[in-house]
A and B are shown apart, each in its own frame.
Chain A
Amino acid sequence: NAGVMQNPRHLVRRRGQEARLRCSPMKGHSHVYWYRQLPEEGLKFMVYLQKENIIDESGMPKERFSAEFPKEGPSILRIQQVVRGDSAAYFCASSLAAATEAFFGQGTRLTVV
């Protein structure tokens, strides 16, 4: 049973481009969380999805950021028109049920140049 898979592991984008971060949850997991982490800082909640539904997006900026978790395929975190301040590590986690043990992917490290 493969763990949570995130790709790409590293992503470099120029300012103004779009960044697409993918997360394949563990098999059987229908709950997906996205977190952002800056160096030397904690995990900041962005969005919580449960198959095709956004349950809580209170941590996600209203502009430029969007997330989806389609019926088929990975969850996608999309950042449009990236700015330097978007540079961070973005972690995805999945769980079997709400607020149970969360399994994290290895993260996507986004660098905006």
Chain B
Amino acid sequence: GQQVMQIPQYQHVQEGEDFTTYCNSSTTLSNIQWYKQRPGGHPVFLIQLVKSGEVKKQKRLTFQFGEAKKNSSLHITATQTTDVGTYFCAGEIAGANSKLTFGKGITLSVRP
């Protein structure tokens, strides 16, 4: 069954609002990655987190890996219409043939 979970599947925000989404795994992850897919496009790699408690920033995006390496968060400060898309987390489940298991993604819409 689904081992990497992202809930909810959709979120709508007003432009300028902050946005946070979470990714949870039932098992420990060796690393976690985040991808963004624009409507009609293909997933594009954003970031990889490896260490417990790691925090990385990319401009207005902040990514965090949980202490137990079972969850991760993505925070967007002051959303813009260019942030629209589906954000996927993908985890390498320890011992699972090193394949990336993707969550179902969260589709963000931003009202101008």
Contacts and interface: CB of A to CB of B under 8 A. Distances in A.
B102 A42 contact: yes
B103 A99 contact: no
* Interface residues of B, dominant DSSP: strand
B102 A99 contact: no
B45 A101 contact: yes
Interface in A18-42: 33, 35, 40-42
A55 B43 contact: no
A39 to B, nearest CB: 11
B97 A56 contact: yes
Interface residues of A, number: 23
Given A101-B48, A105-B42, A107-B42, A42 B105 contact: yes
Contacts of A45: 99-102
A102 interface: yes
B98 A99 contact: yes
Contacts of A101: 33, 45, 48
A1 interface: no
Nearest to B6: A42
17 contacts: A42-B86, A42-B102, A42-B104, A42-B105, A48-B98, A48-B99, A56-B97, A93-B43, A98-B98, A101-B48, A102-B90, A102-B100, A103-B45, A104-B42, A104-B43, A106-B41, A107-B42
Ranked nearest first, the 4 interchain pairs of A and B with the lowest CB-CB distance are A98-B98, A42-B104, A99-B92, A43-B102
Interface of B: 6, 30-31, 33, 35, 41-45, 48, 86, 88, 90, 92, 96-105, 107
